[in-house]
Structures are given as structure tokens and as C-alpha cells.
Amino acid sequence: MQKYLKYIIPISIPLIVLLLPLSAFPFDGLTIIQQRVIAIFLLAALCWVFEPIPIYATSVVIIVLELLLVSNKGLYLFRLNEGQPHFGELLSYNEIMATFASPIIMLFLGGFFLAMAATKYRLDVNLARVLLKPFGSDPKFVMLGLMLITGIFSMFMSNTATTAMMLSILTPVIAVFGPKDPGRIAFALCIPVAANIGGIGTPIGTPPNAIALKYLVGDNYISFGEWMAFGVPFVVVMMALAWMLINFLYSADQKKIELSIKGKFLKTPKAIMVYITFTLTIVLWLMGSSHGMNSYTVALIPVAIFSLTGIINKEDLKKISWDVLWLVSGGIALGLALDKTGLARLVVHSIPFDAFSPYAVLFGAAFLCLVMANFMSHTATANLLMPIMAALGTSMASLTPLGGEITLILVVTFAASLGMSLPISTPPNALAHATGHVQSNQMAKVGVILGVVGVLLSFVLVWLLHAVGHIG
């Protein structure tokens, strides 16, 4: 019976919500369309938690259900009461379908093309080989070098791919440590920690960042370079704290190790084209809109160049993480429904948040996100919370002195990426745990400390940047 609960619960609860009369809900003025969005939201949340189907499939189901139940081109039977006051406004089917080709999706697609080309022409391994040379043979400094390289790669590549690559480089090195040497734990643990933290540094580093950008528009718009202006310092400080913490908890007995990475930079025309395009794309991103292009437009430049030159061919296209793109698009569609139907605002306005301290709201939202991110996908967590946080940020006047909506969104976004206490929390954690060198309790000890400290640090950083006028 227990194994069927993961199917029964996600289906039965949304169905019950759909069958309830509007008067059963604690919201004044709730419409039928909003009731349907509540049911879709609960279905998404429960499917992302229990995973009766793959999480990317849940995103596709969200989009299809929105098209059927709440769009102006949905099933006729679901539009019979259209025009009545209690029915609500239907969404445009164009807007729902457009989530598959949102600028956020294009930004990630550009990032995937860069990462694939870098891996295919060994740019990542060769950069690691060159950049690790200055760190010598002292285990603690070699570990620092590994963390910095992993963090840098994670800003522009998939955290999972970066972790897999770095762990493969490390395999012969970890074997040098004795079977009971804490250095085994330290080296196996430092890679996923650095990958999880490093992804915070750029808008394409991790899906929660891209989801946050969807809500940082208008006066709250943040360019690629502006994100890095606060993201990179945060990553550097967190990386330093993580390095010191891991060294303190799991200091290596071995006093000297040799890290041998074989390889050399390729000098073929296609490899040189990859180097030039990679550099050009990053420079254009860092220059913000001073050249007239936003980060979404720039992201398509490597897509065009690599496709035109055959650097990325049709076989490579099959290897793109389409599941991640679908997952993000489902979250965007969910946020669209919550926003356009007015449900997010209705829920937020029905709770007297202004009666609470703005600090309590900020920390409460961030730690709720942190806890959720430890037990479910970071992307799913951000998908569920971000539209509600955006509505809350605009409705709470007491948050304005602290940066308002932008502070709330950024702190929650950082919290989503800092959920890394368990092997199931992130794919990098799972890969590190699979090596057999790090146990769940050892991972939890480091993850909990870094998660709590990171949330507090993110609040301080974002507030300071707002105070000096760099954001918000």
C-alpha cells in the first residue's frame, strides 16, 4: 500500500481541491480559474516531492493542464461559465506555450552549448591543469585549488557535469590517502560543495538563478554583469568558509600529494573557434547592455556559431539536458498562472505579513526555501516559491527599506542553491556520495553549517548592495 501512496496523494488532493465549493477556501473573491490554479500548483508540488513521475514530466503536465483548464483555447467544457463574475480571466494560450521558448530558456541553452563545446574540445580539463599548478602539493592548498576551479567551472557549466569531471580527475589522488585518512572525506566532499556554491555566481550557473531573473524585471532588472558583481563575491566568501570548515573537520594526515592531469590545449581551427567564442560570450555578458544586447541575446551567439561551424552537431544536440529546460519552463508556466490569475497576490494579501517584522519575513522565507531545497530539487523549490515571493515583495511596504522585492527574491534564490545537506539534495552530492568516501552524516554536518551561514551572509550582502545603490 505504501508504494502506491506516492501516486494516490498527488492525484487525490488536487482532485478534492477542484471539487470543493469556492466558499470552502479562506480567500475572499476566489474565482474558479484561481481554484484550478491552486489544484495545478498542489499537483506540481506533490509530484515534485513524491516523484511518481520524473520531475521534468511534471513540468510538461503543468503546461498541458494550464492549456486545458485555464487558457482561452482550452477544452470547451471548462469554459462554459466564461464571463461570469466568479469565473475569472482566462490566460492566453500563446503566453503559456511561450514558456517553452522563454528568454530564460534561451539563456540556459546558450550555457549548455558553451559547456558542451568546452568539454568536447577539452577546454575544461586543460584549464584545470593550468590553473591548479600554482597550488603546490600541500593537501589543504591543493583542495583550495580544486574548489576554486570547480567553482569557476560551475558558474558556466552544469554543476553535475563539473562534479563528474573533477571527481574523475581526483580518483587516483584520493587513492593515495590511507583508508582512514580524513583527507579522503575532505577531497570527496570539497568538489560537490564548491560546485553547489559556484553555481550562484552567474545567472546561468544554476536553474534557480534563471527562475529569479524571470521576476527581476523593470526597476528590479539585473544584468549578467550586475549579477556577477554580487554573486562572485558571495561565492568567494562562501568558498573560503567552506574550505576552512572542511579543513577543520577533516584535516588530511597525508602531508604531500601530487596531482597529475595529462593533456594539452588543442590547436585545431574548431578548438580555436571554441576558445574565441567562449571568451567573447563571457566578455559580452560582463559588459551588460553597454553594447545594446541583453544577456538573452548574447546567449544565442554561441548557439549560432557552434551550429554553423559544426562544433556542435546533431549527435551533440541529443546530449543537451532537455529535461532541465523542460523543468524550468514548467516553473515559468506555474509562475505565469499564479501571477496572471491574481492568485499569488490574493494569497499574499490574505495573510497579514505587515504585522510581522520584515526581518522575520525575510529569514522565514529564506530558511523555508533552504529546508525544502535539501529534500527536493532546487529548481522545483524555486519554481514553487518564487512567484509567491515576488507577490509578497511587492505587497509588503515594510520590506522597502531593506530592498523590497529584489532583496526577498535574491535571498530566497541563494537559499535554494545552498540546500546541500543530504546525498539526495543535489546531483553533485549524489555523485560524491557514490564514491563511497563520504557518508551522509559527514555531508550533513558541512551542509547544514554552510546553508545557515550562507543564508545569513546573503541577506547581509544584498542589503549592503541595496544600501549603496548597486541594486534595487
Distances (CA, A) of 45 to 58, 93, 291: 9, 23, 41
Task: Give residue 392's pLDDT.
Answer: 80
Average pLDDT over residues 388-412: 74
For the stretch 291-335, pLDDT in tens is 878 778 888 999 999 999 999 998 999 888 788 788 778 888 888
Say if residue 341's pLDDT is above 80.
yes
Q: Answer for the pair 169, 191: CB distance below 8 angstroms, yes or no.
A: no
Task: Give residue 213's pLDDT.
Answer: 85
Average pLDDT over residues 375-390: 80
For cell 498541458, the residue is 64
| Contact residues for 351 (Cβ-Cβ < 8 A; gap 6+) | none
Closest by CA position to 234, among listed 469, 448, 463, 472: 463
Task: Give residue 127's pLDDT.
Answer: 75
Burial of 98: CB neighbours in 10 Å, binned 0-12, 13-18, 19+: middle
For cell 549592503, the residue is 464
Say if residue 471's pLDDT is above 60.
no
Say if residue 288's pLDDT is above 70.
no
Mean pLDDT of the chain: 83
Is the model more confident about 343 or about 97?
97
For the stretch 12-64, pLDDT in tens is 889 998 988 888 888 888 899 999 999 998 898 888 777 788 878 888 999 99
Q: CA-CA distance, 342 to 59, in Å (whole number)? A: 21
Q: Answer for the pair 453, 213: CB distance below 8 angstroms, yes or no.
A: no
Say if residue 259's pLDDT is above 70.
no
| Contact residues for 285 (Cβ-Cβ < 8 A; gap 6+) | 202, 224, 225, 295, 298
pTM: 0.74
Q: Is 91 helix (H, G, I), strand (E, B) or coil?
A: strand
Average pLDDT over residues 271-284: 88
Say if residue 395's pLDDT is above 90.
no
Average pLDDT over residues 114-139: 79
For the stretch 222-245, pLDDT in tens is 888 888 888 899 999 999 999 999
Q: Which amino acid is it at 430?
A: A
